[in-house]
Each structure stands twice: as structure tokens, then as C-alpha cells.
Copies of this chain bind each other. A is one copy, B any other.
Amino acid sequence: MSLITFGSMAFDAIETPFGKTDRIIGGSATYLAYTASHFVKPVQQISIIGYDFPQEDLAELTKRGVQLEGVEIVKDQKSFFWSGRYHMDMNTRDTLVTDLNVLENFNPVVPESYQGAEFLMLGNLMPTIQISVINQLKTRPKLIVMDTMNFWMEIAMDELKKVIKMVDVLLINDSEARQLSGEFSLVKAAKKVMEMGPAYLIIKKGEHGALLFHKEHVLFAPALPLEDVFDPTGAGDTFAGGFIGHIAKTRDISFENMKTAIIVGSAMASFCVEKFGPQRLKEISKKDIDARLAEFVQLVNFDIDLIG
């Protein structure tokens, strides 16, 4: 049941209408690992950090079954730093600071001990190094899932299309699906994106849930209506971590099981936004997750047999 998770491990400073933080840990691979390790062990992490990344978080990840052999530590540089401010709707944000630091010269090396992994989750990072990770694997994983963002569509579309061609499942949000396809209708956009390579497409719509497309099929995963969304940072990565975590745990890559996996992803994302950073992902237990999944079942539990 081995799973490789790849992406950034970083510091974030976040402002929302409800509060702000100084530097706290973040990064796509951090959220992926904290989430996926609730479902499967080991999680084999590939990332890069500087001298300043907290030892206690590395220890915490290790305790949770996250292997860090693939995490390069650069002794004389700082970790990647991102700072942003969310608007009232929590779906849009402005980037205030991006300090690449260690990311500037990141050439990921897949450790020999990670070879043979069945599942690969590529978090959002430069398409060229996503390709590098895939190419280093001697046996192609059973399932490759990839997250990306609009930034790469603007500055590296050709490379991005190359990775997209290589993966099984692509995760993007609604505006990215429109940008990538040139289609406004998400149904039309999904068709065009699947023609670019991936057999499965997940379109994330934030507070409005997510759609899973495959051939002519579509599944809708609702988002849980929450009293407070405290900090949406990492919600997309957490969704991805829950999705791949469930797939890796069950070792079932059928469309039927992916339907369940996006509900797991939605449930995990609903925890993520309750506090700043990955804090909630560290606090919750299997019991909390099961209770939240039961809420999702209730949320869409209508009895269509009543319609005669």
C-alpha cells in the first residue's frame, strides 16, 4: 500500500477576514502527508526544506508514518515562504509575498527505497519537476494523481500539458478548468481536459463541492456547509490527500471507489478549514473522520423512491 506524496513543504503567513498568522508551516506536501497518513502507512514524502523548517514537525510526520528520506534539507537556505490575504468570500486571495528560497534549485531525487510505490500523488509544483519524479520511477505506479494551478498555465503551459498527458487523475479548480480548456461550461471543459490525457478529472469548487468526471459519467461531492471557514489554505491539498489516501488504503482504482474517495477528500478538507494551517489535521482521530463522513451521507440522503 505504498504511496509517494510530492510537493512543497513551506512556511505560510495568512490573513483572512477572521484573523492572521505569522509564519506557520504549510506547503502542498505537508498537507498531503498529514492527511494521507490518516489512511495509509507508509507515506513516502518527496520535498525540499531549508535549515529553518521545524524539527518538531518532521518528528510529528515521522511518528505518523511519513518517511522523509526523499525530503532534501538545504543547510544554508531558507524554506519556501508564501504570504497571502483572503477576500471575504474565501474563494479568492491575493499573494503578498513569494520567496522561493530552496525551491529555486529543486531537483528532486526519488530514493531507491521508494521504488515500486503503487500510488503517486503529485502536489502543485513546477510541471518540469513533476515530470522528473514520474520519469525516475522504474515501475509506473498503478495510479498517478496530479494537482496544479493557474500560475503554471500562464508561464509553463507546454510543460504542464506534458505532465497532464502522463497522469491518470487531474485535480484543478473550476476557473483553472475553464482556463485550461477555453470552455466556460464545466461539462464541456471536462471533456476537453480529458482529451489531453487524464482518464479522470476532478474539478474542485471550494465551498460548492467538487465534481468527478470519467468518460460520460459525473459524480458530485458536496462541501459541508460550515458555520465558519477559518482558513482555506491547504484545503485543496487536503482534499487530494484524502482522495489518494483512501485509494491507497483500499488499493482499488475503480471509478466506483473514486466516488467514495472524493467524499473522503471533501470530509478531510472540511476539517482543514476549521483552523489555521494543518492544525486540525493533527488533532482529529479516526472517530472524528467517521463522524464527519456520516454527516456527508446525511447531507445528500434523499429518498428518490418516494417519487412515484
Seen from chain A, the residues whose Cβ lies within 8 Å of a Cβ on chain B are 88-89, 184-188, 205, 208-209, 211, 217-222, 225-229, 246, 250, 252, 256-257, 259-260, 262-264, 290, 293-294, 296-304, 306-307
Contact = CB atoms under 8 A, between A and B. Distances in A.
A88 B184 contact: yes
A220 B227 CA distance: 15
Given A88-B184, A208-B205, A304-B296, A222 B225 contact: no
A231 to B, nearest CB: 14
Contacts of A246: 307
Nearest to A257: B306
B300 A228 contact: no
A1 to B, nearest CB: 13
Contact of A304 (B227, B263, B304): B263
Given A208-B205, A306-B260, A307-B293, A300 B222 contact: yes
Given A184-B88, A263-B304, A304-B263, A299 B218 contact: yes
**Most-contacted residue by chain B among A186, A219, A228, A306 (CB, 10 A):** A306
Contact of A300 (B184, B219, B264): B219
Contacts of A89: 184
A303 B220 contact: no
A264 to B, nearest CB: 6
A200 to B, nearest CB: 15
A300 B297 CA distance: 10
B260 A303 contact: yes
A195 to B, nearest CB: 15
B221 A220 contact: no
18 contacts: A88-B184, A89-B184, A185-B227, A185-B228, A186-B225, A188-B227, A208-B209, A219-B298, A219-B301, A220-B222, A252-B306, A259-B301, A259-B303, A260-B307, A263-B302, A293-B304, A293-B307, A300-B300
A89 B120 CA distance: 35
A225 B211 contact: yes
A89 to B, nearest CB: 8
